[in-house]
Amino acid sequence: AGRRRGSLAVEPAVRGRIRRAVYGRFACRAGACGHSCCRGWEIDVDEAALRRYAAVEGELGQVLRRNIYQDDDGAHFLLTEDERCPFLREDGLCRLICDLGEDALCEICALHPRFFTDVGEDTLCGLGLSCEAACDLLLNTDAPLRVVSEAGETTTVPALLGLSECA
């Protein structure tokens, strides 16, 4: 049993969003990733994905259904003996994306490493540091720490918090 990676709420659509200016530049490294999020994590499968997976026909549909465990707490993929997602290919790519497209992903796989936290009337959209691509994007930049609102307004973090700018 690996570390558990729980389901996340879908990206908020109603509330205002605040995100780091580099948020939109995130891209999964997929096969080039040295620390795949598809290893060592229990990957929850949401209800909508379960319905989609039940409709997949042929050999892939059989493999999908054979590799999902369901109980009263929900559903998740059954990891291999070496704690890999059963759909992680040897080249580091996801079989579900390669065979069915990105829309086939369950919610957690589609959103990871993104996270969402309510801040007053808005939602802070972030990237978790458990992902090497997110770490590189967030930590290896000379750009100032700026955030962007849903309306496209850009500000600094101290100003967002009502603090004076740091010297």
Interatomic CA distance for residues 95 and 92, integer angstroms: 9
42 vs 46, residue with greater confidence: 46
Residue 98's pLDDT is: 95
- Amino acid identity of residue 162, one-letter, is G
Q: Let me know if 48 is exposed, middle or buried by CB neighbors in 10 A (0-12, 13-18, 19+).
A: exposed
Cα dihedral angle (3, 17, 101, 4), rounded to 10 degrees?
A: 10
**8 has pLDDT over 70:** no
For residue 140, the model assigns a pLDDT of: 83
Tell me the average pLDDT of the chain: 81
At 69 the pLDDT is 96
Higher pLDDT, 167 or 29: 29
pLDDT for 3 beyond 70 = no
More confident residue, 157 or 18: 18
Q: Above 80 in pLDDT, residue 31? A: yes
Average pLDDT over residues 85-93: 93
Cβ proximity of 137 and 143 under 8 Å: no
Q: Which of 90, 95, 94 is nearest to 112 (CA)?
A: 94
pLDDT at 139: 84
Summarised one tens digit per residue, pLDDT across range 110-163 is 988 888 888 777 788 888 888 888 888 888 877 666 777 777 777 766 655 665
pLDDT above 60: residue 10: no
pLDDT at 158: 60
Label residue 165 by pLDDT band (50, 70, 90). low
